[in-house]
């Protein structure tokens, strides 16, 4: 897959006071990227788009470089104690993505140049919770890997956590440009996870992302580099032929990874769900979507944040859970299943 090249970039002027901001400015200028300035990375004006589709597509081609001023980290259940804010948004165009709801009509990609300040704050959180281990999630509102060639933020973060006896880092990606991270001094303190799905789901819904085969090959490189490896399978869809297709996905994973992983592989299983707001936003951007969004085929459930969502009914959830638990155990006897939701 071709590396990400933004169509335009916006800089907060303060970002140029940091070495990374200055380097990014000159690098993007040399590449011929159209550069503008903004007073705030939270409110960027000037990204074109008269329709919801245009606004979305243009935002996905926009890079915003700013200073992260809020250094209070959000919580990140169930996978970690805190979100680690390295990047916001993602270059992928997945039709079902919850970021379509949380990041507004123009989900542009944001990177932060004050990485040392962000990591210093993480260190304070670790010290505050010591002697307990504190886990940080690097992908709560983003996929940070596509912009790694610009920022180097993941490598720096991985090597920071290598030195934290009471801190662990984890992130997830759908992308495959992993080579710059293979020689990082990680000391087993970063879990490198890949988001995977049945080939049909990737092809139909996960636009501008690498195919399953390429993600599996990248995951083998990561395993051989000694990282603890994990997979998020999600969103899991219930559709005619789902057992066969998800079974084939897991068999391919087993075949490629055989003998590569130095640690038990961790799995996180997330079934498809949607809110009323998410459905409205998805239909605005992808009016011809085939993502199943029929309320009558789901049950309504209140979530931990006080709003409701439509999930699969209990009998389908039970069938999905039993299948994945059994198939993962069959393919990866030592695997750790972190959760099924």
pLDDT digits (tens, 9 = 90+) for 284-328: 999 999 999 999 999 998 866 567 899 999 999 999 999 999 999
Query: Structure tokens of 309?
Result: 């969502």
Task: Write the pLDDT tens digit of every residue in 109-147.
Answer: 999 999 999 999 999 999 999 999 999 999 999 999 999
Residue 91: CB partners within 8 Å, gap ≥ 6? 4, 60, 109, 143, 146, 147, 208
**pLDDT for res 78:** 75
Q: What is the pLDDT of residue 306?
A: 62
Mean pLDDT for the chain?
A: 94
CA–CA separation, 156 and 162 (whole Å): 10
Checking if the pLDDT of 67 tops 90, the result is yes
b/e per residue, 60-97, with b = 16+ CB within 10 A? bebbbbbbbeeeebeebeebbbbbbbbbbbbbbbbbbb
Contact 179, 204 (CB under 8 A): no
CA 90, 116, 71 angle in degrees (round to 5)? Answer: 70
**pLDDT tens-place string over residues 218-256:** 999 999 999 999 999 999 999 999 999 999 999 999 999
Residue 333: HSE in the Cβ half-sphere, 13 Å Cα cutoff: 2
Alpha-carbon gap, residue 199 to 251, rounded angstroms:
13
Phi and psi based region of residue 280 (left: phi greater than 0; alpha: psi -120 to 50; beta: remaining): alpha
Residue 244: the pLDDT is 98
Q: Residue 26 belongs to what H/E stretch?
A: helix 19-30
Percentage of the chain beyond pLDDT 90 is 88
Which residue, 165, 178, 163, 190, is CA-closest to 80?
Answer: 190
How confident is the model at residue 303, as a pLDDT?
Answer: 67
Tell me the mean pLDDT in the region 79-84.
92
Q: What is the DSSP code string of 250-268? A: HHHHHHHHTTT-SSPPEEE
The H-or-E segment that residue 135 falls in is strand 134-137
Which residues fall within 8 angstroms of residue 139, CB to CB, at 6 or more apart?
171, 172, 173, 193
């Amino acid at each position: 897959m071709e590396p990400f090249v933004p169509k335009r970039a916006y800089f907060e002027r303060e970002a140029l006071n940091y070495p990374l901001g200055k380097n990014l400015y000159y690098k993007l200028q040399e590449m011929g990227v159209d550069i503008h300035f903004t007073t705030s990375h939270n409110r960027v004006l000037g990204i074109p788009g008269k329709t919801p589709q245009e606004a979305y597509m243009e935002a996905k081609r926009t890079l915003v470089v700013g200073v992260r001023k809020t250094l209070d980290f959000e919580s990140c259940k169930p996978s970690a104690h805190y979100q680690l804010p390295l990047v916001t948004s993602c270059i992928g165009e997945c039709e079902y993505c919850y970021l379509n709801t949380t990041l507004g009509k123009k989900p542009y990609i944001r990177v932060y140049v004050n990485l040392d300040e962000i990591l210093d704050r993480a260190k304070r959180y670790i010290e505050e919770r010591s002697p307990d281990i504190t886990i940080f999630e690097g992908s709560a509102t983003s996929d940070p890997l596509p912009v790694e060639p610009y920022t180097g933020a993941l490598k720096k973060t991985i090597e920071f956590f290598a030195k934290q006896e009471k801190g662990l880092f984890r992130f997830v990606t759908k992308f495959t440009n992993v080579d710059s991270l293979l020689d990082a001094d990680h000391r087993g303190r970063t879990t490198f996870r890949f988001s995977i799905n049945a080939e049909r789901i990737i092809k139909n819904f996960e636009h501008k992302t690498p195919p399953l085969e390429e993600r599996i090959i990248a995951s083998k490189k990561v395993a051989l580099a000694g990282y603890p490896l994990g997979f998020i399978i999600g969103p899991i869809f219930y559709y005619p032929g789902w057992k066969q297709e998800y079974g084939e996905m897991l068999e391919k994973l087993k075949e490629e990874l055989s003998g590569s992983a130095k640690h038990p592989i961790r799995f996180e299983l997330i079934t498809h769900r949607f809110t009323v707001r998410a459905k409205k936003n998805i239909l605005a951007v992808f009016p011809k979507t085939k993502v199943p969004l029929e309320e009558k085929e789901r049950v309504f459930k209140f979530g931990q944040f006080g709003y409701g969502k439509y999930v699969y009914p209990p009998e389908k959830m039970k069938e999905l859970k039993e299948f994945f638990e059994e198939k993962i155990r069959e393919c990866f006897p030592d695997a750790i299943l972190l959760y099924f939701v």
